[in-house]
Amino acid sequence: MTDPRLPVREPRRHARDPSTHRRRTTARPAPRGRSRRRTRRLLVTTTVFVALVAAGAAFAYQNLNGNIDSQDIDGQLNAGSRPDRQAPGAVNVLLLGSDSRSGANSEYGRDEGGARSDTAMVVHLADGRRSASVISLPRDTLIDRPACATKSGVVPAAKSVMFNSAFSVGGMACSVATVEQLSGLRIDHVVEIDFTGFKKMIDTLGGVRVNVPQDIDDPDSRTHLRKGWQRLNGEQALGLVRTRHGIGDGSDLGRIKLQQTFMKALIGQIGSTDLLTNPVRLYRLLDDLTSAITTDKGLGSLSSLTSFARSLDGLDADQVDFRTLPVAPAPHDPNRVVPEEPKADAVWKALIEDRPLPGGEQP
């Protein structure tokens, strides 16, 4: 019998939900130590992710920055003979297309001991970057070349020689000195680009859509194109800007027109392509570009190039005035040209004073 003085012990039962007859479970807070461990794991994971992204960005920057070749142009020029800057806010860049046949460019012919500036353009960026002027210099133009310093010593000045010979004699520095003597314009920067790099950039962009002005059949430049709008890949684009025997009278003037047509199309395409939405493509393009160019020291780093590119934001193809230096047949050589005065001098004076080019206002 049960002692009535003792409390009655109820049978042990599990609490059940009367509607489901399932055992109730009550959420218990995780022990403080376990919560801390989870927080630490989250922080470590986040830190590692950020570190990997930062490391990738740092690697990309170092790789792109290491691609750039640069030369101390100012150190090779005679500071006392250089023109003064008349418009400090404007910037003048000499753009050179190298026709070297060495290295990866050997497929375009035999290297005969040195490169020449197959393409030469003076790019004038107006103060405030409101507009730009691009003056193409025919490679066949006869000029007086100044003395140029080289690794082997000073090459004496020469009279009535082809413009593009300056590059083969003394590289970028000699080309800058020659342009400054010819124009009276202070050149702030110089950029050289080679064949192979040019092709790769165009292919990375997905080609460039160009309105080819006429049928072109030029085996020398491997160019076989039909008249009209078409998207050119890197090889076709290079052929277009190099051809001279397949258009016009076979002179350099016909080639310059094709180069300017292509440059307008290229500027328009880059401006309409949102590369920021495709970081892989943007990196590939920057890798192609930095591997293809040689610059002066002022543009010899990725940060300098980036800053320079940002200053051009908003400048589109309609604000760029493409011209060719006015030239006339050379008196003693019908296969060469000389600057046509006073027209050529008027072009240079407009750039020096940061004014629109004569013969039409810039947009």
Q: Please tell me the number of Cα atoms within 13 Å of 178 on its side-chain side.
A: 37
What's the whole-model pTM score? 0.79
- DSSP 3-state assignment of 7? coil
The predicted model gives 2-14 an average pLDDT of 51
The per-residue DSSP string of 120-185 comes to EEEEEE-GGGS-EEEEE--TTBEEEEPPEEETTEEEPPEEEEETTHHHHHHHHHHHHHHHHHHH-P
Q: Confidence band (pLDDT; 50, 70, 90) for 230?
A: very high
Q: Confidence band (pLDDT; 50, 70, 90) for 286?
A: confident
Residues in the chain, total: 363
Token digits for 63?
A: 């790789």
DSSP tag of 29: P
* Residue-level pLDDT at 35: 61
- Amino acid of residue 68: I
What does the alpha-carbon distance between residue 231 and residue 205 come to, in Å, rounded to a whole number?
Answer: 11
The predicted model gives 161-166 an average pLDDT of 92
* Residue-level pLDDT at 236: 93
151 or 2, which is more confident: 151
The predicted model gives 352-361 an average pLDDT of 85
Tell me which of 182-186, 217-221, 228-232, 339-343 is least confident: 217-221
Q: What is the chain's percent helix, strand, coil content, to nearest 5?
A: 45, 25, 35
* Residue-level pLDDT at 42: 53
Tell me which of 3-7, 205-209, 236-240, 287-291 is least confident: 3-7
Residue 243 · residue 223 · CB < 8 Å: yes
The predicted model gives 274-283 an average pLDDT of 75
> pLDDT digit string (tens) for 49-96?
444 444 446 657 788 888 889 999 988 888 788 999 889 899 999 999
* Residue-level pLDDT at 111: 37
Residue 196 · residue 105 · CB < 8 Å: yes
Token digits for 100?
A: 């070297």
- For residue 21, pLDDT over 60 is answered with no
DSSP tag of 312: T
Q: How many CB atoms lie within 10 A of CB 5?
A: 5
DSSP tag of 276: G
> pLDDT digit string (tens) for 232-269?
999 999 999 988 876 766 678 888 999 999 999 988 88
Residues 6+ apart with CB under 8 A from 145: 157, 158, 159, 161, 165, 166, 169, 174, 178, 181
The per-residue DSSP string of 89-102 comes to T-EEEEEEEE---S
Q: Angle at which helices 302-311 and 32-67 pack, to 10 degrees?
A: 80
The per-residue DSSP string of 229-265 comes to EEEE-HHHHHHHHH--TTSTTSSHHHHHHHHHHHHHH
End-to-end C-alpha distance for the chain, whole angstroms: 114
> pLDDT digit string (tens) for 97-107?
876 534 444 44
Q: Confidence band (pLDDT; 50, 70, 90) for 212?
A: very high
Tell me which of 103-112, 201-210, 238-247, 326-335 is least confident: 103-112
Report the percentage of the chain scoring pLDDT > 70. 75
The predicted model gives 10-31 an average pLDDT of 51
The predicted model gives 121-133 an average pLDDT of 93
The predicted model gives 148-162 an average pLDDT of 90
- For residue 117, pLDDT over 70 is answered with no
DSSP tag of 83: P
Q: How many CB atoms lie within 10 A of CB 228?
A: 11
The mean predicted confidence, pLDDT, of the chain is 80
DSSP tag of 205: T
